[in-house]
Structure formats: structure tokens, C-alpha cells
Amino acid sequence: MRKTISYAVSVILLILFPLVTRDTTAKPRLQSVKIQMTERGYEPGSPRLRRGIPARVTFVRITDATCAKEIVLPDFDIRRALPLNQAVVVNFTPKKRGAYSFVCGMNMMSGQLIVQ
């Protein structure tokens, strides 16, 4: 009985060990953020990204009440149509720290990606 228990304990430890020792400071291979265009504007308006890590930024326009029918990221040379309720994914790797704006097609509505 005792042997069975210690066997069970070692099996549990073997299973848990890799989870406990996993390096949480390792650089992720991808970072993602989702931004909704609502009638209040872009939400979140200033999402954060880490520099040097490929970013997948998903824009979804969920209102027809604004003029934001396109999404533009001037610093990354990106301009895409933003159809209602359709996820539009843009991929790029932010290389330098800073604030990079994203705007509507007419440069009226805006938010910022904060790269740290």
C-alpha cells in the first residue's frame, strides 16, 4: 500500500515538474491583440505590444455609426478595408519602442499601439 502511494506521488511529480519549471520569462513567438471599433471609438484605444515579437492585431468594426470603414497603420504601411463585423487581421513586427497610431481612412478617428 505504501509502495503504491509513493509510486503515485512520483508519477504526479513527474507530470507536474515540467509545468512548475517552465520558464515564464521566455519570449513568446507571437503576441496578439484585438481592437474593436465601437460607437465610442477604438477599444482598447492604446493597447500595448512588446517590441521584437511578431504581432497579430485583429480589428473588428461592430458599428455602422462611425466613418471607420477602413483601418490604416501609417507607420507600417498598412491600409485595409474594415467591413462590418468581419475580423481583419494585420501582422507586423514592431521593432522600436514608441507610440504608433492607427486611424480610420480619413484620419479622423485614432488610437495608438504602445510598443514597449
Positions touching Cu ion (CB under 5 A) are: 67, 104, 106, 108
77 contacts 112 by C-beta, under 8 angstroms:
no
CB of residue 107 vs Cu ion: minimum separation in angstroms? Answer: 7
Q: Which is nearer to Cu ion, 37 or 55 (CB)?
A: 37
Q: How many Å apart are CA 110 and CA 116, to the nearest integer? A: 19
34 contacts 62 by C-beta, under 8 angstroms:
no
Q: Which is nearer to Cu ion, 53 or 109 (CB)?
A: 109
CB of residue 104 vs Cu ion: minimum separation in angstroms? Answer: 3
Cell of 66: 462611425
Instruction: Count CB atoms within 10 A of the CB of residue 23.
Output: 6
Q: Which is nearer to Cu ion, 58 or 66 (CB)?
A: 66
CB of residue 81 vs Cu ion: minimum separation in angstroms? Answer: 13
